[in-house]
Amino acid sequence: MQTNFRGRDFIGDLDFTKEEVETVLDVAWDLKRKRALGEPHAYLRDKALAMLFFFTSTRTRGSFEAGMAQLGGHAAFIDSQTTQISHGDTAKEIGEIFGRYFDGIAIRQCDWNFGNSYINDVAKASRVPILNMQCDVYHPFQCLADLMTIMEKKGRNLKKKKVVVSWAYAASYSKPISVPQSLILQMTRFGCDVVLAHPPEFKLMPEIMQQAQDNAKKYGVGFDVTDNMDEAFKDADVVYPKSWGPMLTTTDAGEGKALIDKYKSWITDERRMGLTKDDSIYMHCLPADRGLEVTDGVIDGAHSVVYDEAENRLHAQKAVMALTMN
């Protein structure tokens, strides 16, 4: 078990080693057990977390707020649009000042080619841990919850489990690429044979792809890329199909929408789930575009674990906060 977490940032998935992620999960399961039994676990009594949002949120805000309360502390919701951040407060000023007011700063900033650099700029100026609630590159807390959920359903040893990270069609907006990027980085460290499926225009960042390939080589697992959704789904143990934008192809909203609309057939339906193993699980970080990304029959069906997955956001985040902010 690794114990050197106090005061550390968690911005990218690889900020914690594989062994440190295992420690986080051990703590998360212990906190989940305590929550189920009603055992007090106020490890962060009198601690305060600043939650700075540049993007709207449901699960992230709710789970961080509830988690801090259950740990005995307080989470302050801060909307960038209703503060002086929208009128000139810099990343350095936020890091310096909030780092003196609060015991941790959690940030969601997903603007393409800006969010991750902004969070890192805050971190450079802050004396307290910086927690990435999602940026344009990573969504590390979602990925911890995903890994926790897969282990609960498939066992701690994930060797040779086929995990499919797939693009899916959605019409709502051009979504960040951070979820699939975090998944391919983390899952290749934990024994999974990862298959990434997407249309040609929806590539991920080359440096993230290289890191995933390096992980696969280091841990002796597969990492394959395909533009065939059906082929990817064959004999899968875990499928995680979600939409993301063509950021590396175009940042023009109109062009992006036209590219997305070319691939309306990329939906997770009962036929596609039939290609997977009988005991496969369907995952999604939510919210899903029902009827576009996935049918009601799949997301509400026997293979779906999306609500267990959403719950585990709470426990995984509490574990990291307890370890870094104590």
User: Measuring CA to CA, which residue among 229, 146, 226 is closest to residue 192?
Assistant: 146
Q: 2, 3, 6, 4: which is closest to 324 by C-alpha?
A: 6
- The answer to whether 319 and 31 have CB atoms below 8 angstroms apart is yes
Sequence-separated (6 or more) residues with CB below 8 Å from residue 110: 54, 55, 134, 135, 136, 176, 178
Architecture (CATH level 2) of domain 142-309: 3-Layer(aba) Sandwich (3.40)
Q: Is omega for the bond preceding 246 within 30 degrees of 0, making it cis?
A: no
Equal CATH topology for 13-139+312-325 and 142-309: yes
Residues 6 or more apart whose CB falls under 8 angstroms from that of 207 comprise none
* Cβ pair 6, 31 in contact under 8 A: no
Domain positions in the chain:
13-139+312-325, 142-309
Question: What is the fold, at CATH topology level, of the domain defined by 13-139+312-325?
Answer: Rossmann fold (3.40.50)
Contact of 21 with 77, CB cutoff 8 Å: no
The confidence score (pLDDT) of residue 14 equals 98
Predicted pLDDT at 59: 96
Q: What is the pLDDT along the chain (326 residues), one digit of tens a residue?
A: 999 999 999 999 999 999 999 999 999 999 999 999 999 999 999 999 999 999 999 999 999 999 999 999 999 999 999 889 888 999 999 999 999 999 999 999 999 999 999 999 999 999 999 999 999 999 999 999 999 999 999 999 999 999 999 999 999 778 999 999 999 999 999 999 999 999 999 999 999 999 999 999 999 999 999 999 999 999 999 999 999 999 999 999 999 999 999 999 999 999 999 999 999 999 999 999 999 999 999 999 999 999 999 999 999 999 999 999 99
Q: How far apart are CA 52 and CA 31, in angstroms?
A: 25
pLDDT in the model for residue 173 = 78
Structure tokens at 197: 């499926």
